[in-house]
Chains A and B, each alone.
Chain A
């Protein structure tokens, strides 16, 4: 997977992961992939919901040592 940008949102609480993700996504072109790392448990639902509503696609996610990582492709 080609990751165009990595966003470190670890330690940030709601609503910051989504706010930062939106900012980062604005800098990408359609089809590019953003990697978001967060420790916010709420982000597990928040980021996919945000991605879906904003027309992006969550390609993959993993949870490791309390860090959630999402790969989101810009729509």
Chain B
């Protein structure tokens, strides 16, 4: 088929494990539909892109506090409902395993494998005091214009 590829764009604003999981499942599904897929991470959604291990970087007091209070990586994110101070995510991961579904870190890995474009919103990266080296490799940094360029040609555009 020579027709131009369809496009799916997803804004991941939420830093909740369950919402991010939904976003990545849709993204992976869209890639299987042969869409060009972009996930634009902004605000709390950026935490899905953080490396699990702490990266030594120079930053100010406020930025350090932000870094401490936000989950370091997809696996540490909480649930939007029934988080129960961290017990909820443990339970849901059990259920995910039981049903042979894919946990979020693997969904992100698969997204990369499928060539899904992972974008970090530069402005919110700066706001939250994150440094590029604290985020996983293979992602791009961009702003609203780059998102709109993709979204204006998008067949599916979601905000999660």
Q: A19-B31, A22-B34, A53-B33 are in contact. Are A75 and B25 (CB under 8 A)?
A: no
Q: A11-B100, A15-B32, A19-B32 are in contact. Are A75 and B114 (CB under 8 A)?
A: no
Q: How many residues of A contact B (CB 8 A)?
A: 15
Checking A11, A13, A19, A55 against B29 with a beta-carbon cut-off of 8 angstroms, the contacting residue is: A19
User: Which residues on B sit within 8 Å (CB–CB) of A53?
Assistant: 33
Size category of the binding interface on chain B:
10 to 19
Interface, chain B (partner A; CB < 8 A): 1, 25-26, 28-29, 31-34, 99-102, 110, 114
A-B contact count (CB 8 A): 36
Checking A12, A14, A54, A55 against B25 with a beta-carbon cut-off of 8 angstroms, the contacting residue is: A14
The verdict on A21 contacting chain B, using a C-beta distance below 8 Å, is yes
Checking B26, B101, B110, B114 against A13 with a beta-carbon cut-off of 8 angstroms, the contacting residue is: B101
User: Which residues on A sit within 8 Å (CB–CB) of B102?
Assistant: 13, 16
Task: Encode A11-46 as 1/0 by CB contact (under 8 A) with B.
Answer: 111111011011000000000000000000000000
